[in-house]
């Protein structure tokens, strides 16, 4: 995978994946242009290096387990995530592990994932490292990694402490419910924080409308997930 032949003999139509070299300049840096076309970053205005792509599928939901596994295979083969971004070795290894944990019922605990990743990479993997990798899979690559935090906040009368109950860990989302389980708590926390900000700034940041909209959209998202 590291060495590539000169791209001059192949036409753009033969380029099956942006992980391959640019047929014009042998570069491997691509930007999606939409409509299944990518543009090589080395092209110049007027002489863009364009090539069709079709093999970097998105992480859509809902999706069947078999189809998601097939898509993860495609990302691993191409060495790129759905956002056409390069997957680093640790990201690939984690993705390969998550391929066995599809849907929230199959969540893998943070600890078991960290140990499995250590075995795959041959080096220490801290919780922080794992969380950073998950963040990058989600944000940089557009892969819907779900997570259950497995804790609840006690009623204020009982001290308002966080208690750990229920499943926790990471998984790849198959359904909108998987996404909702992941974002629900976080969004409520984020909204609560913004409410405080809104209150302390006397509404000058105009957050109230945004808060109301976000709440409404979350409800709609939950309903469409049902
Ligand atoms: Zn090029």
Residues 191 and 225 in one domain: yes
pLDDT (mean) for 217-222: 75
Residues 32 and 99 in one domain: no
pLDDT (mean) for 194-209: 91
Residues 70 and 143 in one domain: yes
Domain extent for 220: 175-226
Calculate how far, in angstroms, residue 209's C-alpha sits from the geometric centre of ligand 1: 46
d(CA 114, CA 127): 7
d(CA 43, CA 24): 9
Quick check: is 57 in a domain? Answer: no
Residues 91 and 141 in one domain: yes
pLDDT above 70: percentage of residues in the chain: 81
pLDDT score at 77: 87
Most confident of 29-33, 129-133, 176-180, 217-221: 129-133
Calculate how far, in angstroms, residue 23's C-alpha sits from the geometric centre of ligand 1: 7
Quick check: is 119 in a domain? Answer: yes
Whole-number mean pLDDT of the chain? 83
First and final C-alpha spacing in the chain? 43
Give the lowest-confidence range in 90-94, 125-129, 211-215, 216-220.
216-220
Give the lowest-confidence range in 80-94, 123-137, 209-223.
209-223
More confident of the two residues 76 and 39: 76
E strand segments, the chain = 30-34, 37-40, 50-52, 145-148, 151-153, 162-164, 169-172
Residues 43 and 73 in one domain: no
Quick check: is 170 in a domain? Answer: no
Quick check: is 164 in a domain? Answer: no
Pick from 130, 148, 166: which residue ends a domain? 148
Ramachandran bin of 46, using left for φ above 0, alpha for ψ from -120 to 50, beta for the remaining angles = left
Quick check: is 192 in a domain? Answer: yes
Encode pLDDT of 89-108 as tens digits.
999 999 999 999 999 999 99
Calculate how far, in angstroms, residue 26's C-alpha sits from the geometric centre of ligand 1: 6
Residues 70 and 140 in one domain: yes
More confident of the two residues 152 and 195: 195
Q: How many CA atoms lie within 13 A of 160 on its CB side?
A: 1
pLDDT score at 136: 96
pLDDT score at 35: 63
Say if residue 10's pLDDT is above 50.
no
Q: Which residues pair with 34 in a beta bridge?
A: 37
Residues 72 and 140 in one domain: yes
d(CA 167, CA 123): 27
Quick check: is 160 in a domain? Answer: no
Residues 69 and 134 in one domain: yes
Say if residue 8's pLDDT is above 50.
no
pLDDT score at 90: 98
Quick check: is 137 in a domain? Answer: yes
Residues 47 and 87 in one domain: no
Quick check: is 109 in a domain? Answer: yes
Calculate how far, in angstroms, residue 142's C-alpha sits from the geometric centre of ligand 1: 24
d(CA 152, CA 129): 24
Count how many domains the chain has. 3
Which residues are within 5 Å of ligand 1 (an ion), measured at CB?
A: 22, 24-25, 27, 40, 42, 49
């Amino acid at each position: 995978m590291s060495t590539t032949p000169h791209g001059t003999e192949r036409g753009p139509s033969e380029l099956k994946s942006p992980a391959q070299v640019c047929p014009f300049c042998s570069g491997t840096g691509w930007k999606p242009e939409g409509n299944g076309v990518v543009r090589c970053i080395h092209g110049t205005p007027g002489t863009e290096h364009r090539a069709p792509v079709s093999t970097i599928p998105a992480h859509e939901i809902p999706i069947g387990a078999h189809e998601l596994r097939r898509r993860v295979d495609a990302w691993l083969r191409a060495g790129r995530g759905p956002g056409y971004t390069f997957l680093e070795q640790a990201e690939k290894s984690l993705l390969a592990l998550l391929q066995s944990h599809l849907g929230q019922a199959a969540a893998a605990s943070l600890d078991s994932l960290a140990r499995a990743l250590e075995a795959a990479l041959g080096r220490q993997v801290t919780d922080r490292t794992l969380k950073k990798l998950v963040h990058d899979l989600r944000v940089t690559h557009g892969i819907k990694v779900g997570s259950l935090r497995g804790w609840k906040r006690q009623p204020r009368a009982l001290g308002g402490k966080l208690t750990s109950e229920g499943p926790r860990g990471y998984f790849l989302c198959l359904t909108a419910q998987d996404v909702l389980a992941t974002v629900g708590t976080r969004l409520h926390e984020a909204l609560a924080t913004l409410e405080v900000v809104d209150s302390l700034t006397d509404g000058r940041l105009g957050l109230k409308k945004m808060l109301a909209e976000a709440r409404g959209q979350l409800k709609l998202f939950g309903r469409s997930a049902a």
